[in-house]
Amino acid sequence: MKKFVFATNNIHKLEEVEAIIGKKIEIFSLKDIGCVTDIPETSDTLEGNALQKARFIYEKYHKDCFADDTGLEVEALGGAPGVYSARYAGEAHNSEANMRKLLLELEGVENRKARFRTVFALILNGKEHLFEGIVNGEITKTRRGMSGFGYDPIFVPDGYTQTFAEMGDALKNKISHRAIGVQKLCKFLNTLQ
Ligand code: IMP
């Protein structure tokens, strides 16, 4: 079985990716390999940040690995917060404050179209590969639902009426940006066998 380090400290992401991948690949967390560093994400693109995190692990631990970076891109805000989604309301990475700011920015705005975009960077035998997952949807006017994380309570994917936070993990993990990105990554790995 293939083994990869998933370069994230976000327990929600780790659980989502493990649930999506199932038993096909063995995933090690940063904690599993004893990495306690807060890996820098200083790029101004999702691709750059995902690569930065994966390269950090590959260079330091010499292990096959992947990392993701995700942004919520809101059409009426010209794609913001995008790559700055985690720090939208300040350095604190506070989801409540981020959602509050976004809802405030969109007050009175009719166009609520948005998309989650995830980029996965995979480093396998020293070679880099990128995979993208996008899910289109709309920003609600109020927070709804308790599951998931981040901006989930204010995002309704196209074709659904519930927010990611209302629909629960099982459905989110079938249709999400991260699911699409991970499926592409798995498909690529399958072509190697
Ligand atoms: P990062 O990829 O960890 O840098 O995430 C960027 C921002 O997007 C953070 O505020 C996350 O909480 C948020 N985020 C990432 N993935 C998701 C998701 O699947 N649902 C909702 N918010 C997310």
How far apart are alpha carbons 138 and 11 in whole angstroms?
Answer: 25
Q: Looking at the chain, how many residues does it have?
A: 193
Residue numbers annotated as active site: 69
The reported pLDDT for the residue numbered 103 is 98
Peptide bond into 157 cis (omega under 30): no
The reported pLDDT for the residue numbered 193 is 64
Q: Which residues line ligand 1 (CB under 6 A)?
A: 10, 69-70, 72, 85-86, 95, 98, 148-152, 164, 176, 178
Q: Which of 184, 145, 185 is nearest to 165 (CA)?
A: 145
The reported pLDDT for the residue numbered 174 is 94
How far apart are alpha carbons 178 and 181 in whole angstroms?
Answer: 5
**Cα 2 to middle of ligand 1, angstroms:** 26
The upper half-sphere exposure of residue 31, i.e. CA atoms within 13 Å in the direction of its Cβ, equals: 4
How far apart are alpha carbons 14 and 153 in whole angstroms?
Answer: 19
**Which amino acid is present at 3?**
K
Task: Kindly report the protein residue whose alpha carbon is nearest to atom 13 of ligand 1.
Answer: 150
Query: Which residues of the chain carry a pLDDT beneath 70?
Result: 193
Which residue of 38, 74, 149, 172 sits with most ligand 1 atoms within 8 Å of its CB, as the best mutation to test the pocket? 149
pTM of the model: 0.94
Task: Kindly report the protein residue whose alpha carbon is nearest to atom 6 of ligand 1.
Answer: 86
The reported pLDDT for the residue numbered 185 is 94
Cα dihedral angle (90, 96, 98, 100), rounded to 10 degrees? -120
Span 98-152, pLDDT tens digits: 999 999 999 999 999 999 999 999 999 999 999 999 999 999 999 999 999 999 9
